[in-house]
Amino acid sequence: MITGIRRVVRAGFVGFWRNAYVSLASIFVMTVALFVIGATMFIEQLLTSSLSSLQSKVDINVYFVPEAPPEEIDAIRDAIESLPDVAQVTYLSREDALQRYRDRYQNNEIAMQALDELGENPLGATIAIQARETSQYENIARFLEEQRERSAAETPVIDEINYARNKESIDTLTSIIDAVERASFTAMVVLLVAAVLISFNTIRLAIYTSREEIGIMRLVGASNTFIRGPFMLQGVMYGLISGVLALFILYPILVWLGPRTEFYFELNLFTYFIDNFSYFFVTLVGIGIAIGFVSSTLAVARYLRV
């Protein structure tokens, strides 16, 4: 068995170097395919980062009446924080709300004069709620309405919930996120299928040039495994080399793009690439090896009728 494995490995390397031009063509095609797949992964990350940034700016605000007891506000806030759909709850006290109002309208004499004439703080506390997913805001808003109805039966605590005003923006953002996720998944599947088909046809050409050698091997009684082995090894070599080359090509491009994507998208692609290098290495090289192995196996079995 060990001798057979050695012969298969040696035959694979010999075939790889003997058909150098065909091997280079296969590696070139697979490198381009893997480069496009890698670029799509980075584009998807940019879109995801942009959508996450937009999502972080969307929230539901709960405005309490100025006379709301602090314990009632704390109870409602604790109930909101316990919801599984809630990612973050930001509390703004009456005093902080008043100070923010003063800072915002400090150059508006009419607004400041009206505030001074009141002689007291007219603002109530506020809670800003961010959901884990934009599609979960509706459930949170329903829960808040239940809380408002419950408190209204005794002493009104919640003055306003601005979900109705933000609903159109939230629904639009949810639709965009869903569309981007579907488009990214579809694009990745299409690219993988295209990479497999292109690599398959290229590797099939490499195997076609060795058809006479395969015929002689069959005549002398070589097993199907022994015949397939060298070509399967060559396919793995194509994928390994192509994956590494795709990473080398991506590296200088990301060095150049990194500062620019950080400025426009708040994400440095080069830093992201370095921090997740092992993931991209395993993914691209793994996809390349899988494509080369599967393509070689199918090409030998189907087209040369081994």
Lowest mean pLDDT among 9-13, 150-154, 172-176: 150-154
Both tokens of 135, joined, read 């599609």
**pLDDT, position 8:** 67
How many other CB atoms sit within 10 Å of the CB of residue 126? 21
Domain ranges of the chain: 2-54+174-303, 57-164
Sheet holding 126-131, edge to edge: 86-92, 126-131, 60-64, 158-161
Residue 303 has pLDDT above 60, yes or no: no
| pLDDT tens track for 138-161 | 888 888 888 787 766 567 788 888
**pLDDT, position 152:** 60
Q: Which residue has the tokens 């639009």?
A: 172
Mean pLDDT of the residues in the chain: 80
Higher model confidence: residue 70 or residue 202?
A: 70
**pLDDT, position 4:** 62
User: What is the spatial distance between Cα 87 and Cα 248, in angstroms, rounded to a whole number?
Assistant: 38
Strands (E), the chain: 60-64, 86-92, 126-131, 158-161
| pLDDT tens track for 75-119 | 888 888 888 888 888 888 888 888 888 888 777 777 777 777 777
Both tokens of 39, joined, read 């670029």
**pLDDT, position 153:** 58
| pLDDT tens track for 226-267 | 777 787 888 888 889 999 999 999 999 999 988 888 887 778
| pLDDT tens track for 21-34 | 777 878 888 888 88
**pLDDT, position 45:** 85
Nearest 5°: phi and psi at 161? -125, 120
Of all residues in the chain, the percent with pLDDT exceeding 70 is 90
Apex CA 185: angle with CA 182 and CA 189, to 5°?
A: 135
Pairing mode, strands 126-131 and 86-92: antiparallel
**pLDDT, position 304:** 52
The model's pTM is 0.69
**pLDDT, position 1:** 63
**pLDDT, position 306:** 47
CATH number of 57-164: 3.40.640.10, 3.90.79.10, 3.10.310.10, 3.30.70.3040? 3.30.70.3040
How many other CB atoms sit within 10 Å of the CB of residue 70? 11
**Burial of 214: CB neighbours in 10 Å, binned 0-12, 13-18, 19+:** buried
**pLDDT, position 65:** 85
User: What is the spatial distance between Cα 115 and Cα 112, in angstroms, rounded to a whole number?
Assistant: 5
**pLDDT, position 12:** 67
**pLDDT, position 238:** 87
Higher model confidence: residue 140 or residue 225?
A: 140
User: 299 with 204: CB under 8 angstroms?
Assistant: yes
**pLDDT, position 270:** 92
| pLDDT tens track for 34-44 | 888 888 888 88
Amino acid in position 173: L
**pLDDT, position 105:** 79
